[in-house]
Amino acid sequence: MQITKDIFLVGVNDRTIDLFEGQYEVPNGMAYNSYAIIDKEIAVMDSVDGKFSAEWLSNIKTALGGRKPNYLVVQHMEPDHSGSIVAFVNEYPEAKIVSSAKAFLMMKNYFGTDFSEKQVVVGEGSKLSLGNRTLTFFTAPMVHWPEVIVTYDEADKVLFSADGFGKFGATDTDEDWACEARRYYFGIVGKYGVQVQALLKKLAGLELQIICPLHGPVLKENLAYYLGLYNTWSSYGVESEGVLIAYTSVYGHTKEAVELLKAELEKNGCAKVVVNDLARVDVAEAVEDAFRYGKIVLATTTYNGEIFPFMREFILHLTERNFQNRTVGFIENGSWAPMATKVMRGMLEKCKNLQYTEAGVKILSALTEENRGQITALAEELCK
């Protein structure tokens, strides 16, 4: 795929994968992007998963039309992007490797060598001339690994953004960008909002026309939309007005309360109400919704003096990703010693800027008229 006159996409699509990073469902596969910049000298941006080395090298040869690359730029050392470095070195032994000092340390761990005779070490503000164009490198530590760099090509106003602005799904998948980019961001990068904000500040002074991520499609139009979403996500802001109800239910009584709350919220004018059964939904989808909407209700049962396992796992996913700036309500169910609200609130106590509803729901086994009144009060408070 030709991106500009001199930049080509030479990556691969993985349609064999079922779980990315061993946990994220990717029904539409995964893209491992790599780019060739053709100038007086040639730079290849990142490699691909080792299972696709031969296909990747074939793509490079096609794009280069008989020429050989002078550099391999390694922006990120995660194996889905670094897995074919050795194959590249074997194919092009005269090429140099351009990367951060920390990345070369990681290469030693992965490959038993740091390619010392091929190293071109770059850091914040380093530049590499290819002839008619110069690449400028910016460090992006913990977005989302410590060695990450991103690269700016001023000639074509292109940002090679490493894992930033990436998404799940192969490049030939026809699907909404934001949905799978959001799930990708909060699943993989979400903990590091402060670091993403720092990177966005560095990028603010650049003129951008194209963003080339390591996953998903090349972004060419309406870049303000993508940058705006990344700013919202990384600052833990509210993207969409709405209420998420995340619940678990053993015998159906908690589910009944959730369904009643949903109806009450809609009756009170909350246009967007999303309900996730945590025992059945992809947890990454539920996490995505929790960070998308400004209000969340957690509904679960007391279980072994604690809370139901799926709810515990969900809250752990939130807290380890720095969940914050939200309004939280609770529905608990406990037949003889209800503890769920106390446990859930305790798990959230280190989260920043959470506001808790005054109204709450405490069910003792099955719904009562008192519980219905509590649900009505909770809905009214959430819809203010």
Percent of the chain at pLDDT > 90 equals 97
| pLDDT (0 to 100) of residue 313 | 97
Average pLDDT taken over every residue of the chain: 96
How many beta carbons lie within 10 A of that of residue 90, not counting itself?
11
How many beta carbons lie within 10 A of that of residue 101, not counting itself?
12
pLDDT band (50, 70, 90) for residue 126: very high
Percent of the chain at pLDDT > 70 equals 100
Cis amide prior to 144 (ω within 30 degrees): yes
pLDDT tens string 296-355: 999 999 999 899 999 999 999 999 999 999 999 999 999 888 999 999 999 999 999 999
pLDDT(234) > 90? yes
- Domains of the chain are 7-234 (3.60.15.10), 240-382 (3.40.50.360)
Q: Are 74 and 85 in contact (CB under 8 A)?
A: yes
Locate 197 and state its tokens: 């904000």
pLDDT(13) > 90? yes
Q: From CA 257, how far away is CA 102, in angstroms rounded?
A: 52
pLDDT tens string 191-214: 999 999 999 999 998 999 999 999
H or E element, residue 19? strand 19-20
| pLDDT (0 to 100) of residue 332 | 96
| pLDDT (0 to 100) of residue 219 | 97
Q: Are 213 and 31 in contact (CB under 8 A)?
A: no
Q: From CA 215, how far away is CA 278, in angstroms rounded?
A: 28
Q: From CA 374, how far away is CA 200, in angstroms rounded?
A: 44
pLDDT tens string 269-285: 988 999 999 999 999 99
Region 57-78 average pLDDT: 97
Q: From CA 335, how far away is CA 263, in angstroms rounded?
A: 25
DSSP three-state, residue 113: coil
Cβ-Cβ contacts under 8 Å for 238 (sequence gap 6 or more): 232, 293, 294, 325, 326
Q: From CA 107, how far away is CA 113, in angstroms rounded?
A: 6
| pLDDT (0 to 100) of residue 131 | 97
| pLDDT (0 to 100) of residue 321 | 96
pLDDT(254) > 90? yes
pLDDT(28) > 90? yes
Cβ-Cβ contacts under 8 Å for 360 (sequence gap 6 or more): 329, 330, 331, 332, 341, 374, 378
